[in-house]
Amino acid sequence: MKTIILAGGLGTRLSEETVSRPKPMIEIGGMPILWHIMQVYAAHGFREFCVALGYKGHVIKEFFLDYYRHSNDLTVDLATGEVMTHRRQTLDWRVSLVDTGQETQTGGRIRRMRAHVGGETFMATYGDGVGNVDISALLAFHRSHGKLATMTAVRPPSRFGEIELAGEQVEAFNEKPQASGGWINGGFFVLEPAVFDYIPGDTTPFEREPLDALAREGQLAAYRHEGFWQPMDTLREKQLLEALWEAGKAPWKVWSDEPQEVALR
C-alpha cells in the first residue's frame, strides 16, 4: 500500500527555516521531519511512499539520492573514483519523488498522484506534522467502516500551558497539553481511489470541496486519535519537537533503531 506525503508547500510561517529548503526538510534531531513521518509508517510495515514535491523539491530529491552513501561508511579511491561501501544500513523503503507544481493546492497534489497509486486503497498525510498514530489500527478502522475516506481526528495542542489548582495552591503545571475542546483534521488519511473524482484540479484544497462533499455524502469517517500529535507550523513548535527529541521523550518515535524484519505491505 502506498502513502502520499504532501511536501510541496511554501512554509511561509516558518520563513526563518524555509528560505533555502522546503518545510518537510527542516530537521528534528538531525533528520528532516519528512524522515520522521516516514518512519512512523514504516514501523507498521508501510514502506512505499509517493512524495508530492513543489517548493524547492530538488532539495528533497537530493536528500534521497544521497541517502545511501550518507548512511554508510565509504572508502573512495581517488585514482579511479571507485567507491566502496563498508557498512550497509539501508532502509527498505521505495520512494517516488513527484513534481506536482509550485502553486498546486493539497487536493491537486493528491490528484496528480493518481497514476502512481493506481486503483488501490492508499494513505496520505502532510509533510509537516508528527504523531504516534497507530497506522495499522487506522487502516483496520477504515476497512471496517467501508467509507471512501477516513480522516484522523485529533485534539489540537493548547497554545498555552495549563495549571491545576487546589484552592490557592498550584498542584501541577502542564506545558502545552492537548486542548480539551473539539476535534480537528490531523491528516493521516486512508483513501479509496474514487476520492480522486472529488478533486477537480490543481487549485483545489483537499480540505475544502473534496472533504466537504465526502462528509455530505456520508463517505468520510473519523478515526479518533487520543495520543500525541503536533504540527510544525511555527519556530516555537519546531523548537518543542527538537526539545522532545533531544530529551529522549519524542512520543512519535514508535520505531526501533535496530533493523527489524517486517513484511512489506
Domains, the chain, ordered by start: 2-246 (3.90.550.10)
Region 24-35 average pLDDT: 94
Where residue 70 falls among pLDDT bands split at 50, 70, 90?
confident
Where residue 179 falls among pLDDT bands split at 50, 70, 90?
low
CA distance 124 to 4: 4
Name the average pLDDT for the chain: 87
* Poorest-pLDDT segment among 1-5, 117-121, 130-134, 167-171: 167-171
Q: Which of 114, 158, 117 is nearest to 1 (CA)?
A: 117
3-class SS at 110?
helix
Q: Where are the alpha helices (DSSP H) in 24-122?
A: 33-42, 57-70, 106-111, 114-117
Question: For residue 265, is pLDDT > 60?
Answer: no
pTM listed for this prediction: 0.85
Question: For residue 17, is pLDDT > 80?
Answer: no
Q: What is the pLDDT of residue 174?
A: 56
Looking at residue 14, the DSSP 8-state letter turns out to be G
3-class SS at 222?
strand
Phi and psi at residue 104, to the nearest 5°: -65, 140
Region 175-192 average pLDDT: 77
C-alpha cell at 47: 514502506
